[in-house]
Amino acid sequence: MSFLGADAEFERRLHRHILSEAQRLMPIPTAMLGLGTLIVYFWDYLIDPQGAEITLYVRLFSASILAICAFAINQFKSVRELEPLVWFIPLSSAIGTLLTLYLLDDGFQWGAGGYSLSFVLVALFAVRIKPVLIVNLVMLLLTGVVLFYKGVSLLVLENSLFFCVVGVVVSCAVAFQLESIYRRAFRLQERLEMESRTDSLTGILNRRALCEEATRRLEESERLGLPISVLALDLDHFKRINDRYGHPIGDDILKNFVTLVKPALRPYDLLGRMGGEEFMVVLPQTVLEEARGVAERIRQTVEDQLRSSLNSEARCTVSIGVAEHWEAEASVDDLFKAADDALYDAKSGGRNRVSVND
């Protein structure tokens, strides 16, 4: 159950995150739940020694199921496959307890309060309010059926159902609170991760993030046998603009430059700021001549349109170096250096031009 107004893509990421946290955290609590199931057997013996002879097998079976689940949790390669198990663990534990109370004389009379904790356990395992509500309603229905077949007195029936309803309410409240905590923490985590990978001025990838993403694209290109090219871009005489007009004007030009470059790129191309007035563009599935064409379009657009929004006299051009991935052993650093070498040639040749590293 998504919160009102929540972004659908964010909800999917949050759901995967919660399942991944469950996979990391659930094995020990699941094993402890199985151990607790066995320990509570002494309570069975205290209230009904004869019935406890049968409930021992129920407890052993339930604990065995939980032990298997505790082992199986980390065997799932996809967290999506883990979701049914997250539902199954508290449900199986509750069914085992419910069957135990059914088999004991006066089991519901003495054990309804303790059984209501089974509903709360659902919230601790399933976390999100939708699965918690579904599992709790299934448990409540099963409890009603078992109480009917047990033929308990009206007082025990009312008492048992009261405890169960309280358990459902508490469980849903706990689930709502836990989901809220997860949501806030995950949103903060995503924001911090984005800030650590984003250039604060221009909003594009910073140097570290660009190198990481470029490495992945390069490995993918090598694996699939596809070309990949890089553009090294440097704004001409940018220091003069900063010295003459001030840093606010310079910052404005950098932001406007990024705004002009983005439309020339495809959704899967990478644009990052290496530092100062130097930028890099990674063009997957692009041969050298195509990359040269992209570079020339960017250069022309910048020459025609790049100026400060704060001072139209502050204008700038760009020099661009182009390189293509040429050998299997070349790294991202090698590819960036090749583009930088071509950029140096463009600067040496008079600036506001495109140079290609053949």
Domains with residue ranges and CATH for the chain: 8-196 (no CATH), 207-356 (3.30.70.270)
Say how far apart CA 310 and CA 252 lie, in whole Å: 7
The three-point CA angle 120-17-172 to 5° equals 20
Q: Is the per-residue pLDDT at 217 higher than 90?
A: yes
pLDDT in tens, 239-280: 999 999 999 999 999 999 999 999 999 999 999 999 999 999
- What average pLDDT does the segment 72-85 reach? 82
| pLDDT band at residue 4 under the 50/70/90 scheme | very low
- pLDDT for the residue 1: 42
What is the pLDDT averaged over residues 156-169?
93
Taking the model in full, what pTM does it have? Answer: 0.68
56 has a pLDDT exceeding 70: yes
Active site residues: 277
Q: Does 70 score more than 70 pLDDT?
A: yes
Residue 3: what pLDDT?
46
DSSP secondary structure string for all residues of 23-82: HHHSHHHHHHHHHHHHHTHHHHHHH-HHHHHHHHHHHHHHHHHHHHHHHHGGG-SSHHHH
Radius of gyration for the chain, computed over Cα atoms and rounded to the nearest angstrom: 32
* Alpha carbon separation from 309 to 161, 235, 272, 316, 331 (Å, rounded): 69, 17, 22, 12, 39
pLDDT tens by residue, 109-128: 999 999 999 999 888 888 78
Q: Are 230 and 281 in contact (CB under 8 A)?
A: yes
Q: Residue 89, Cβ neighbours under 10 Å: how many?
A: 27
| Residue 6, pLDDT score | 52
Per-residue confidence band for 129, with pLDDT thresholds at 50, 70 and 90: confident
Please give the single-letter amino acid code of residue 350.
G
Average pLDDT, rounded, for the chain: 90
Euclidean distance between CA atoms 83 and 78, whole angstroms: 10
Q: What is residue 241's three-state secondary structure?
A: helix
Distances (CA, A) of 103 to 48, 55, 60, 289: 9, 7, 15, 80
**Residue at 32: amino acid letter:** M
Order of strands across the sheet that contains 318-324: 270-275, 278-284, 228-235, 318-324, 354-356
- What is the rounded CA–CA span in Å between residue 121 and residue 119? 5
CB-based contacts of 210-215 (< 8 A; 24+ apart in sequence): 210/270, 210/272, 210/273, 210/274, 210/280, 210/282, 211/332, 213/270, 213/272, 213/282, 214/270, 214/280, 214/282, 214/332, 214/335, 214/336, 215/331, 215/332
